[in-house]
Structure 1
Amino acid sequence: MRRALFAITGLAAGTTALVVLKGAPDARQVAQDLPAGAPGGTTAATPGAAPERAAAKPRPTGRPGTTAARTPGAGRTGTGAGPRSTPAAPRTSAAAPKSTTRKVTGPVVVTEFGNVQVQITVTGTKIVNAVALELPQGGQSDLRSNRVDDTYSGTSGTVVRQQDANLDTVSQATATSNGYRQSLQAALDQVR
């Protein structure tokens, strides 16, 4: 029975001490003394400080001729009453951010040798890939279309490097190059 009584009393005393210490003003605040030899050169008085705390033993601050005393509430603004509030932790979202990568397809542009259509992949407003969905085919058109596709398309093509439709014309493929740029520009207009 005595053990139980001591355990309950100890628990109550510990809880009371914890509550009292949590609600007490922060005693770690330090006020600086006036330099040695200055008029009235004792510790700085803090309004509302208990007299026995204000006369605490000074300790050196590391600067010659100065000392600091421990004074509860020193350096605080406001009334100094009540516990000090701490800033709230930043809020985080449990959901992962949505991907902003999307594919945008330009219109089919009709040229004298065949149709041209371009699709771009964008992340935000940055072009990360360009693909020719449709290019002129047959005979010499295959060669010209391959040169245009090799120059402009892909993740390392001219479209991705320049990030716009202001592309140089591929030699001997003017009509296909112009169709590619027109379809690309229309796709870019949808993005921006």
Structure 2
Amino acid sequence: MTATIRLVQGDITRQRADAIVNAANSSLLGGGGVDGAIHRRGGPAILEECRALRATRYVKGLPTGQAVVTTAGDLDARWVIHTVGPVWSATEDRSHLLASCYRESLRVADELGARTVAFPAISTGVYRWPLPDAARIAMSTARATDTRVEEIRFVLFDAAAHAAFAAFAAGTGEGLTDAR
């Protein structure tokens, strides 16, 4: 089954979905950008589960490109899937790590039975991944990943991110629904 891909400009913490993906840092303990917003809006239950993960499975932190799940706390979702994106580098190709964030998040979503998953534009904030390339990697990986997820929603915080994802989709002829 091929997932429907949708683009939404807005705040990921306001999305109603089975799972919301968090562009986390490896500590899993909150931070800035999407990570901080999800922790703030989701409330203390998310941080509590992240602390438990750090104390057991991920003592050294969640490795880049991997994904793990917690409750969604007060968010309008069942789960938060945390994934750590790579920092962009002009001298080292780390695109396989960014693609892994999307693949691993969809793998976790499948294990959970999630039908709708909302993704941010991973690594495009403080990790400086250029938006056009991030859009290419995100959308190509989502389209190529074998998943039972029915809807993959890219929730893009601003007009520039939305435009980059829409331009990639238009350039490839990928079918998607723009749900502004």
Using the size of structure 2 for normalisation, the TM-score is 0.24
Q: Which has the larger radius of gyration?
A: 1
Bigger helix fraction: 2
